Chains A and B, each alone.
Chain A
């Protein structure tokens, strides 16, 4: 009886988490005429029409490839720069280590809205308005605190002796970083990479303000400003939502454990 109650709760909880997205999924397959009638809940004749429409009528492929490019570039940059700094903070004799880590953590508290006006002016002055480069640089900076924080935590969990042994064997600090710390820290790198990727894939405020034309938009802006002629095209919005969310669900399914490790690094283990 108690077991039954527990599993009912778990089932309800799952429905609560998944329900809204499932409804979006159902909506994406509904013929336009059935969008404005309830019941039926499920489409009588499921259609791929909305999916065809988003790829035919709008620069949707362009928007997806923009997001892919920005998120990938930001992930690579943030990890490359962040792992160097994290390694130094974890293993090298850095003066005022606590202060630097504290400042880095402060960086992650920065409200995006408080930096958007100066950044906008800088970007306009440099002629980077409406370019993906502007987004890549901004995202790299906004994800760096998280990257450094999480990776420092992961590098510290690698036994100190392994790094010391590499140094005794004649490796320079950089060689021991590349040959010992990076391979052993791979799980942490994967966790961080996914967090950074998801951040850049989902970011809205900077993407909205720094881009001007549909050709340079990323996914969140593309979806928020979905073009509709007379009425809101709910079917197409649903289809687009499903398409851009599926890659993230894939990541979550494959790397659930890693993602939670990354999210809790520092937060839970202190």
Chain B
């Protein structure tokens, strides 16, 4: 292509500039700024701002509430993502066939995903209600799901699994569609059972999609805030307090911007680590 027909560098830049500018101002700058904030003792109400080096992180290592939140976050992430992936895979394989009303089924699967998280948290709070909740009524029990320290985090996980499994299933269904049906026919001719075909064809070919779904789900679960915050507020006795909820409370309820930012930085750090681990895996399978 001649020079006159290919776009000049200035033209290219003018297309990209607005997006890069907004991303730099509202994403990149705050992303760097939070690191700087975490090195300060900053109390917003008293206008105190003092550089303290790594003091916040030294405190954080000894803060049992931080480790509690960290444990809750890990548990929430591991259990909910594993459940969502396994159930989602089951649903995707089940629905991966032609049947009447498949389009409608897809719509139904999208609904839990589309319902605002805050609304679904309120919805589940009502379902879990110990006295008038539908769940206890149907099960014939009188359990205080959200009030008992042993159950509350599991109740939150169950809600997340409800909201996200159908979404995972939809993505995996799209992935299944990219597998050529001839492979299954060939496997059947060679005498493979359904389970053998699933292990030899479906799983390996679906692996890239599974990894992408896992990245997004793991990151979302690790950053979880609104679902749990609205459902339980982090209680009872901090048993559902995740890292994001703890950081939010330190930032906006006690207004310790330095320490709160330090907690937020750890979320940032772990999100980065998780991403790197997955990306390395993904590189291994990318064609």
Contacts and interface: CB of A to CB of B under 8 A. Distances in A.
B283 interface: no
B91 A245 contact: no
A186 interface: no
Contact of B123 (A21, A104, A119): A21
B23 A144 contact: yes
Nearest to B102: A10
A53 B197 CA distance: 57
Q: How large is the interface on B (under 10, 10 to 19, 20 to 34, 35 or more residues)?
A: 35 or more
Nearest to A220: B118
Given A88-B12, A122-B30, A142-B27, A202 B118 contact: yes
B178 A269 contact: yes
A42 interface: no
B23 A20 contact: no
Contacts of A114: 30-31, 34, 264-265, 267-268, 271
Interface in B168-201: 170-171, 174-175, 178
A197 to B, nearest CB: 11
A14 interface: yes
A226 B260 CA distance: 26
B115 A14 contact: no
Interface residues of A, number: 94
A136 to B, nearest CB: 11
A51 interface: no
Contacts of A257: 103, 106
Contacts, number: 267
Contacts of B146: none
Given A82-B19, A113-B225, A173-B11, A252 B114 contact: yes
Contacts of A111: 219, 222-223, 244, 264, 267-268, 271
A13 B102 CA distance: 13
Given A92-B11, A113-B247, A263-B170, A84 B110 contact: no
A108 B127 CA distance: 33
Given A142-B27, A263-B171, A256 B107 contact: yes
A220 B115 CA distance: 11
A100 B81 CA distance: 29
A251 B110 CA distance: 11
Given A111-B219, A115-B30, A117-B37, 17 more contacts: A13-B94, A13-B109, A20-B120, A23-B127, A38-B137, A89-B16, A106-B275, A111-B223, A113-B264, A115-B31, A121-B37, A141-B22, A148-B19, A204-B226, A224-B118, A237-B126, A264-B171
Interface of B: 1, 5-7, 11-12, 15-16, 18-20, 22-23, 25-31, 33-34, 37, 91, 94-95, 99, 101, 103, 105-112, 114-124, 126-127, 129, 131-132, 134, 137, 162, 166-167, 170-171, 174-175, 178, 208-209, 212-213, 216, 219, 222-223, 225-226, 229-230, 243-244, 247-248, 251-252, 257, 260-261, 264-265, 267-268, 271-272, 275, 286-287
